[in-house]
Structure 1
């Protein structure tokens, strides 16, 4: 005599109900989320915060500050007209922005290369990490303004010194994030590569480096913003050669030209946001298919 368990009867009954749903009973279905709602949910909050900031800006500028102190917080339309639309200010801003882009991007590229090579070397042996990582921490902890005069004495006050400042500011995030990514590879995967007889180079190229890509791109996003800061700091100290955004900020501040000053600061901030977004987009394209890269 064949014995049929209760679990089998229940399972068959559930399958029959799924195949032939009973009329009148609610059927649960997965409703795809609308892309428009997702986009609205992403952009509406920042836009509302921006409008609130602009509203507070107008209140302070019109009702809190005295008219003769309005240069401390000019009205947004005055910044637009005098800082951006005015041909003289616009031309100076474009030339300075171009110089800052060249300096910051070159410094960032050098920092990326040095940072990845540095981190890869430390990931190969603990004694190398113990020997080199403290100097990366020291480089991060020393205030850059304390080193800028020495850089000027040793390398002059021209283009190469500004690039060096960018490299020094942007280097540590690349070293730290790349090393973290290389050391975060699953131990079981490493053991599997060892069992297959893979050497150090094969393990690095086919396992460690691909697994570290999310951390590497995160380091690039951080270093990109810091490279812009380095370019502006270098401009404000090395006041020779083609002026960048840092020199414009210093000049407008000394002349109490509030509209042009705010326009330059906003331009620098938007440039930093742009390259931060750009590296985020590259990271999503590179690893977004197999990693939730935010």
Structure 2
């Protein structure tokens, strides 16, 4: 009752939470878009040239193992405390699942299909665009769904460190915690969780529409 009364029914407080959610959502979606583009490009390059994988994949693993709570302050020291620093945290936390899932999908194509393209003397670009990348789409969407949730977490974590500009949902959670304002704090947590679920569901819907007609993972 306290959560509903102080968070959802108090319009001024609820409007403050929704405005903060818009700020964090913008950061999360921009970070996810950048991470998706970079992850797919790196995965494609690794699949085409083993020396690129040997050179870059270990660094991607190292990046994944570094705690985001430790690297967040360093990003602030080096690049400031504004919008793009928060976005960079989202990119760092969301990049690895996209790289690994895309690379796995590109290498999981049926060898018989590769033999068919070899018999037809298909170029490397034609093999990638007509066989490998379409075949990797189920794995790509799996990586995107994982990274979507991680990107929301990155935007909230970034708010804890970077407090310049408009407040995001993470900054509000921190402020409510400091002031022992538990009702609005629970509402902020609920709203951010619902947003993460919505983004996850949207990518699931996209996978169903794009992959579903020909792959059982999308139909389920």
| Residue 233, structure 1, aligned to residue 192, structure 2 | no
In the alignment, which residue of structure 2 is the partner of 1:170? 94
- Aligned with 1:124 (options 29, 48, 63): 48
More helix per residue: 2
- Aligned with 2:202 (options 274, 278, 285): 278
User: How do residues 1-294 of structure 1 correspond to structure 2 at under 5 angstroms?
Assistant: 77-292=1-216, 293=218, 294=220
Give, in whole Å, the separation in 1 of the partners of 2:174 and 2:51.
45
In the alignment, which residue of structure 2 is the partner of 1:33? none
- What secondary structure is seen at the aligned counterpart in 1 of 2:115? helix
CA shift for structure 1 position 125: 2.1
Give, in whole Å, the separation in 1 of the partners of 2:206 and 2:194.
18
Moved more, 140-149 or 204-213: 140-149
Gapped runs of 5+ residues in structure 1? 1-76
After superposition, give the CA deviation of every residue in 1:137-159 in whole Å (9 maximum; x if it has no partner). 01100111111111111110011
In the alignment, which residue of structure 2 is the partner of 1:53? none
After superposition, give the CA deviation of every residue in 1:6-27 in whole Å (9 maximum; x if it has no partner). xxxxxxxxxxxxxxxxxxxxxx
TM-score by length of 1: 0.73
After superposition, give the CA deviation of every residue in 1:75-133 in whole Å (9 maximum; x if it has no partner). xx221121111022112111101101100000000000000000000000222211111
CA shift for structure 1 position 271: 0.4
Give, in whole Å, the separation in 1 of the partners of 2:74 and 2:97.
23
Number of residue pairs aligned between Structure 1 and Structure 2: 218
Bigger-Rg structure (1/2): 1
After superposition, give the CA deviation of every residue in 1:195-217 in whole Å (9 maximum; x if it has no partner). 11001100000000000000001
Structure 1 residue ranges, 4+ long, deviating more than 3 angstroms after superposition: none
Give, in whole Å, the separation in 2 of the partners of 1:96 and 1:253.
16
After superposition, give the CA deviation of every residue in 1:225-284 in whole Å (9 maximum; x if it has no partner). 000000000001111110000000000001111111100000011000000000000010
